[in-house]
Amino acid sequence: MSDLIELCQKLVQFQSVGNNCTEALLFLKNFLEQNNFSARIVDFETEGKKVSNLCASFGSGKPHLLFVGHIDVVPANDISLWQFSPFAAKIEDDILYGRGIADMKGGIACFLQACKDFIQNNDFSGKITLIISGDEEEPIVEGSKKMLKLLSEEREYFDFAIVGEPSNPLTMGDEIKIGRRGDMVLNITSYGQSGHTAYSDVNSNPVHNLVNLLYSLQHDKLDDGNAYFAPSSLHITAFDVNNKASNVVPNKAFAQIDIRFNSEHTFADIEQWLRQHIEQTSGQFTYQAEYVGESFLSPINDHIENLRKIIQLHTGKIPTYSTAGGTSDARFVKNYCPVVEYGLTNKTIHKNNECEDLANIATLYNVYKDFLAYFFCGDK
């Protein structure tokens, strides 16, 4: 247990904000190589932006288990609002405080330590591969996506994958994530005729037209959800006219919408839905769609069901199969093999004083270690 907690603390102490992850990835590479993994740092670059990622593996053949995580963290923001320094990894009353301990350096540490202990105590056939990306929180070049593509080109095939994202809303054993909602961002511009408000009869007001369009979109419910997904949701996240004159009708207005959609829809469906509303609304509009991720649902197979039993063994709870939350790198993994997300709790992630109970960290370690035994040795 002490080795695991020390590993958690060491990872938190790396200030891997944004894609400033090289030092942390080199530490992980050295740790894995000391435990007989082959490991490499892989850099990807797009439009002058570069991100580093770690790929490591142990063993050969089948079955092949993939673990995916990210070492980058969100900024700590106002440090004065933290009880302890966000990168000190302070332990107080059996709680470890620090940016990234829950999301998701603790999950990485638990899997690494579980692999180390499992490999030292078991002879087994098969392969373990890890992908640790450096740009999950603020995607720069989508490191995990490109790492998976590279491994596929190298003829690596996976039987199952675990993404170590914090999956439990409050306590360990709450949820296993078997899918995620899709996400798309729409940037809509409304055009009109600029002029004096006193002569509104000859002006086409783009603000009025945009408000009408947004009202129409808000009040047209996309769906009622289904067995595994909540209803799709739409949120207006920005509205801008950039008009400082109260007596002037502007010539354009802008709005941004974030749509989180379930498995009832695809990107193409949502785009068609938007176009229909534009056609039915007075005014002139253009839009740009940013595709963040499609909705997906992993088939519930024996691996998922046995992971659920192992979680119940260590928590006393039967976790719910969930698809809640934002997007994660699981949206890339699902193109290569069945995938689940199971990690620590997410009740403090991205907040001041992010923290995790030491008992939860020990529980996750035991879940991972027992899953490795089941996956490679058939122990149930």
Structure confidence by residue, pLDDT tens digits, 203-237: 689 999 999 999 999 999 999 999 999 999 999 99
**Domain identity same for 18 and 141:** yes
Is-contact 108 358, C-beta < 8 A? no
Decide which of 293, 316, 341 is a domain's last residue: 293
What is the residue range of 172's domain? 2-180+295-377
Mark which of 293, 326, 358 sits at the end of a domain. Answer: 293
**Residue 341 annotated among the catalytic residues of the structure:** no
What is the length of the chain?
Answer: 380
Looking at the structure, tell me whether residues 200 and 287 fall in a common domain.
Answer: yes
Output the pLDDT for position 379: 63
Note the pLDDT of residue 371: 98
Same domain, 268 and 330: no
Mean pLDDT (10-residue bins), the chain, 380 residues = 94 94 97 98 92 97 97 94 96 98 98 97 95 92 95 97 97 96 96 84 85 97 93 96 89 96 94 97 96 91 97 97 91 95 97 98 98 88
Are residues 187 and 167 part of one domain? Answer: no
Tokens linked to 306: 């046995």
The answer to whether the Cα torsion of 160, 164, 168, 174 is positive or negative is positive
Same domain, 175 and 39: yes
Domain shared by 62 and 122, yes or no: yes
CATH at residue 78 = 3.40.630.10
d(CA 137, CA 143): 11
- 280 lies in the same domain as 344: no
pLDDT in the model for residue 202: 60
Give residue 278's pLDDT.
Answer: 97
- Give the active site residue among 23, 43, 45, 72: 72
- 280, 306: one domain: no
At which of 270, 293, 316 does a domain end? Answer: 293
- Give the other-Cβ count within 10 Å of 82's Cβ: 20
- Let me know: does 223 contact 264? Beta carbons within 8 Å: yes
Number of domains the chain contains? 2
Q: Is 260 left (phi over 0), alpha (psi -120 to 50) or beta?
A: beta
Domain identity same for 281 and 308: no
- Residues ≥6 apart with Cβ < 8 Å to 378: none
The pLDDT value recorded for residue 132 is: 98
pTM summary value: 0.89
- The alpha carbon of residue 36 and the mean position of all alpha carbons in its chain are separated, in whole angstroms, by 29
Provide the CATH number for the domain around residue 226.
3.30.70.360
94 a catalytic residue? no
In this structure, the answer to whether residues 240 and 333 fall within a common structural domain is no
Give the pLDDT confidence score for residue 285 in this predicted structure: 98
Element of type H or E holding 99: none
324-343 b/e with 16+ CB inside 10 Å = b? bbebbbbbbbbebbbbbbbb
Same domain, 189 and 156: no
Active-site residue identified among 136, 175, 356, 370:
136
- Domain co-membership, 58 together with 123: yes
